[in-house]
Amino acid sequence: MDPPPKVVELKARVHAADSILFVTPEYNCSIPGVLKNAIDRAPRPYGHNARDAKPVAIIGASIGMLGTARPQYHLRQSFVFLNMCPLNRPEEMIANTGSKFDEQGNFRDEKGKELIRLLLIRLVEWTRVLRSI
């Protein structure tokens, strides 16, 4: 049975990407089911893992105090099986989002913006390091 066209497209895009940035909310103390499903479909069939040795970083936002700490660690568990190469630091977990966005949905936390910028810079550097090996 052939995979659905959207799965084929996802695998092709993942394979072509230099690195991946996962952005997740917290959903029932973990990642949303649709994200987990997308992660689980890409390495199928066995032996054709589009994410093998792919540099990745994670960012998340939550209304809670932990700011997606739990889902980010669940993602890291999936990365082990998929042989992905996560950026370990900086970790960006945006907590208490109710006070960090204005009425139009604009992120107004200047320290948070700087941490996001640093995360993206480090992901680019990490990607270059892994490509040079």
CATH, residue 125: 3.40.50.360
Structural domains counted in the chain:
1
CB 89 within 8 A of CB 57: no
Whether a cis peptide bond, with omega within 30° of 0, leads into 90 is yes
Q: For tokens 């892994």, what's the residue?
A: 130
What is the tens place of the pLDDT at every residue in 36-72? 988 887 777 777 777 889 999 999 999 988 889 999 9
Whether a cis peptide bond, with omega within 30° of 0, leads into 3 is no
Domain that holds residue 50: 5-131
- With 80 as the cut, is the pLDDT of residue 15 above it? yes
- With 80 as the cut, is the pLDDT of residue 4 above it? no
Q: Which two tokens stand for residue 121?
A: 């810079």
Burial category of 5 from C-beta neighbours within 10 Å (exposed 0-12, middle 13-18, buried 19 and up): exposed
* pTM flag (> 0.75): yes
